[in-house]
Amino acid sequence: MTYHGEYKVPGGKLVKVDFTVDGETLQDVVVSGDFFLYPEETLEDIRASLVGLPAATDEAGIADRIRQRIDPGAELLGTSPEAIAIAVRRALAEPVSSPV
């Protein structure tokens, strides 16, 4: 089953997440949207922080895991770990049947 979630950050940008769940953990994670990250490698760090994440993790736990994985000097413009966490939780609330 595939999952897709979106969250429009108030005063910010759109965040999208797509993933599958295998064995109760997130897999095949794609994070996208119209936000900006510096350095660009931060996007891969965010994606990697979500791969293997237990699907039962709450928003605060998701945001903490992202925060732990990204470089403290990274700039997230138009999004935040909390915004990405909201998109993940929204995706888990409403799975989609079509492929990512």
Predicted confidence (pLDDT) at residue 97 exceeds the cutoff of 80: no
Domain assignment present for residue 99? The answer is: no
pTM across the whole model? 0.93
Specify the pLDDT at position 12. Answer: 84
Domain assignment present for residue 98? The answer is: no
Domain assignment present for residue 43? The answer is: yes
Rounded CA separation 85/69 (Å): 14
Specify the pLDDT at position 53. Answer: 98
Give percent above pLDDT 70 in the chain: 96
Domain assignment present for residue 6? The answer is: yes
Domain assignment present for residue 100? The answer is: no
| The total number of structural domains that make up the chain | 1
Domain assignment present for residue 59? The answer is: yes
Task: Give the domain range for residue 45.
Answer: 2-93
Return the residue matching tokens 């760090």: 45
Count other Cβ atoms within 10 Å, centred on residue 52: 13
Domain assignment present for residue 41? The answer is: yes
CATH code: domain of residue 58: 3.30.390.50
**What tens digit of pLDDT does each residue of 12-65 get?**
899 999 999 999 999 999 999 999 999 999 999 999 999 999 999 999 999 999
